[in-house]
Amino acid sequence: MNERYGGIEAGGTKFNCALGDGKGRILDEETFPTTHPTETLTRAIEFFRRVEPITSMGIAAFGPLDLNPDSGRYGWITSTPKPGWAQTDLLSPFRRALHVPVVIETDVNAAAIAEGRWGAARGLATFLYLTVGTGIGGGAVIDGRPLHGLVHPEMGHIRIPHDRARDPFVGMCPFHGDCLEGLACGRAIEARWRAAPKSLPEDHPAWALEAHYLSLAVASFMATLSPQRVILGGGVMHQVHLFPRIRAGVLDLLGGYVPAGEISEAIDEYIVPPALGDQAGILGALALVSPDPPPGPR
Amino acid sequence: MNERYGGIEAGGTKFNCALGDGKGRILDEETFPTTHPTETLTRAIEFFRRVEPITSMGIAAFGPLDLNPDSGRYGWITSTPKPGWAQTDLLSPFRRALHVPVVIETDVNAAAIAEGRWGAARGLATFLYLTVGTGIGGGAVIDGRPLHGLVHPEMGHIRIPHDRARDPFVGMCPFHGDCLEGLACGRAIEARWRAAPKSLPEDHPAWALEAHYLSLAVASFMATLSPQRVILGGGVMHQVHLFPRIRAGVLDLLGGYVPAGEISEAIDEYIVPPALGDQAGILGALALVSPDPPPGPR
């Protein structure tokens, strides 16, 4: 059987369209900037018309999204501040043009699913994928399925302790000021230190502070979700020196409270980088429709 | 069919044993103090010998618990500071004495399941039950099933912002100092104000502070889990004036970010007290083995 699947990583700055074999391999791919919805979706449809036939298609999209299959707006981007994209139906144009089933998921949930299927969380049932880049987002897989709930998680927006004596920066989240994203996303680092994060050396105080905030966040996510593993991806986490700092910070914050050898004795395998790197998003889109078994038993 | 089920609410201060009809009704019940494990478990077994036959039995227990069915210590209380109870097998004594299947769950997860089956979350698939009493604990039901993950959540131990100018109290969690439980459980209120929480009038500043901390916690749990409803139970929440304050606090903290009418337009039905009151624990134990359908479709 040579099934072929379509995938779109629909991001706020670029769209990545791919043809996949359903086993984590990409056969054809095209990336272009996210402009006006009509123009962007038309260009995506053209890609899939070129590579047809496909069996089905997965979309991993920025949001917030309506993921309720019973809603009249299932598959819509809802309240994004991105100009032109609020209340945009991402799903129907592809269903109508390509006549195949289309599945949609948040970008972070899709990346989590890909890491569970083919990457750093293979074989695990319950785990967390956190991306720390321009923004901060989290995708959780619980008992093998992405967590949606009422809408879908917005993990970048939890509140964490903010010591204003140590860090007077007020935070840059337009909704919450100093929530996790407001304090620790790439744009926050840039605004606080008035320098591109990439330009800051490893011993710059920016990184000790960043590791502190991410440790607080990971410890709270662990207390809430009890994941079997925590994957930290996104551009900021390209600073690999953050990993040992965050691992140490999390152990310190937990204070020995959670009785699990997976944490206390093997933290290096518990808090890990993504195995799929920057491909987690597009592979996540493909994973949504690929026929492999779910990532793990209960 | 007149099936009869056994349930135990195994708490740190008392054991509550019950015979139930599997439909949320209690037919017989006995409560006694939690003393030494052997004495306490023997007394529980005597209750069930008296009311036999039962089809199966559920235990809703304090923890931390080993809930991994593949573990050699499935059903054990693990690292509790309660004298005599660390490394106690709660399950096998009942299996051996009563020759029935026995299921075990954390007390908060069981209470959540009961609220989903017969109470304030009937018909919902994904919701949160938070108990604020002597300690703070959270049980989450995700797609109809209790969240376990690596161990089980310990939601009382998330970190929240702590403004030491407003509240110089250092917190009383022996592991974390000023985690949520350390700042906002009943014992923390008592230690901070040197008065029994019940004795503090509604206009005492204790309650504005308590509502603030619980709002921060609920907002963070909402960002992480996206529950369809949040149930707040436990002794501290007998202060019903906390509900409107927490609802207002959560709306303020969210800042309109989560696009859901269930929150923005119906917060009174979104953050609610338990419908089963102080019976949620024992009904939770019975719900673990009662044959009703799961609380909600996906």
Q: Does domain B123-274 match CATH 3.30.420.40?
A: yes
Which residues on A lie below 8 Å from B140 (Cβ)? 224
Binary contact (B225, A257; C-beta < 8 A): no
Strands of B78-181, DSSP E? 88-89, 102-106, 127-132, 136-142, 145-146
* The dihedral sign for the CA sequence A65, A43, A118, A213: negative
Binary contact (B151, A258; C-beta < 8 A): yes
- At B294, the pLDDT band (50, 70, 90 cuts) reads very low
Amino acid occupying residue A206:
A
pTM: 0.94
Please name the residues in contact with A172: beta carbons below 8 A apart, sequence gap of 6 or more.
A182, A185, A187, A188, A191
CA distance B50 to chain A (A): 36
- At B126, the pLDDT band (50, 70, 90 cuts) reads very high
Of B176, B224, B260, the CB nearest to A225: B224
- Looking at chain B, which residue has its C-alpha nearest residue A229? B150
Binary contact (A154, B79; C-beta < 8 A): no
Binary contact (A78, B259; C-beta < 8 A): yes
> Is B215 a residue whose pLDDT tops 80?
yes
CA distance A199 to chain B (A): 30
Q: Do domains B5-109+279-287 and B123-274 have the same CATH topology?
A: yes
B21-25, B80-84, B97-101: the lowest-pLDDT one: B80-84
Q: Which helix (H) or strand (E) holds B233?
A: strand B230-233
Which residues on B lie below 8 Å from A164 (Cβ)? none
pLDDT score, position B153? 93
Q: How many CB pairs under 8 A join A and B?
A: 143
pLDDT score, position A258? 80
Rounded to whole angstroms, what are the CA distances from A124 to A93, A227, A262, B136?
35, 9, 13, 28
Per DSSP, the three-state class of A233 is: strand
Q: What is the ipTM of this complex?
A: 0.93
Binary contact (B226, A78; C-beta < 8 A): no
Binary contact (B150, A126; C-beta < 8 A): yes
Spatial separation of the C-alpha atoms in residues B267 and B270, rounded to whole Å: 5
Binary contact (A157, B223; C-beta < 8 A): yes
* The dihedral sign for the CA sequence A196, A198, A200, A204: positive
What proportions of chain B, in percent to the nearest 5, are helix, strand and coil?
Answer: 35, 20, 40
Binary contact (A175, B255; C-beta < 8 A): yes
Please name the residues in contact with B118: beta carbons below 8 A apart, sequence gap of 6 or more.
B24, B275, B276, B283, B287
Of B140, B158, B162, the CB nearest to A220: B158
pLDDT score, position A1? 52
Of B175, B253, B257, the CB nearest to A154: B257
- Looking at chain B, which residue has its C-alpha nearest residue A87? B259
CATH code for the structural domain at A5-109+279-287: 3.30.420.40
- Which residues are registered as beta bridge partners of A9? A16, A60
- Looking at chain A, which residue has its C-alpha nearest residue B263? A150
pLDDT tens sequence for chain A (298 residues): 578 999 999 998 999 999 999 999 999 999 999 999 999 999 999 999 999 999 999 999 998 899 988 889 999 998 887 889 999 999 999 999 999 999 999 999 999 999 999 999 999 999 999 999 999 999 999 999 999 999 899 999 999 999 999 999 999 999 999 999 999 999 999 999 999 999 999 999 999 999 999 999 999 999 999 999 999 999 999 999 999 999 999 999 999 888 788 998 899 999 999 999 889 999 999 999 988 654 444 3
| Residues A38-55 pLDDT 10s | 999 999 999 999 999 999
Answer whether A5's CB lies under 8 Å from A286's CB. Answer: yes
Of A79, A153, A228, the CB nearest to B224: A153
Residue closest to B176 by CA, chosen among B154, B192, B193, B195: B154
Q: Mean pLDDT for chain A? A: 94
Residue closest to B124 by CA, chosen among B270, B277, B232, B233: B270
Binary contact (A221, B224; C-beta < 8 A): yes
Binary contact (A150, B263; C-beta < 8 A): yes
Of B159, B254, B263, the CB nearest to A216: B159
Domain edges within chain B: 5-109+279-287, 123-274
Spatial separation of the C-alpha atoms in residues B36 and B39, rounded to whole Å: 5
Angle between helices A242-254 and A205-225 (to 10 degrees): 50
What burial class does residue A272 get, using C-beta atoms within 10 Å of its C-beta: 0-12 exposed, 13-18 middle, 19+ buried?
Answer: buried
CA distance B62 to chain A (A): 14
Spatial separation of the C-alpha atoms in residues A83 and A80, rounded to whole Å: 8
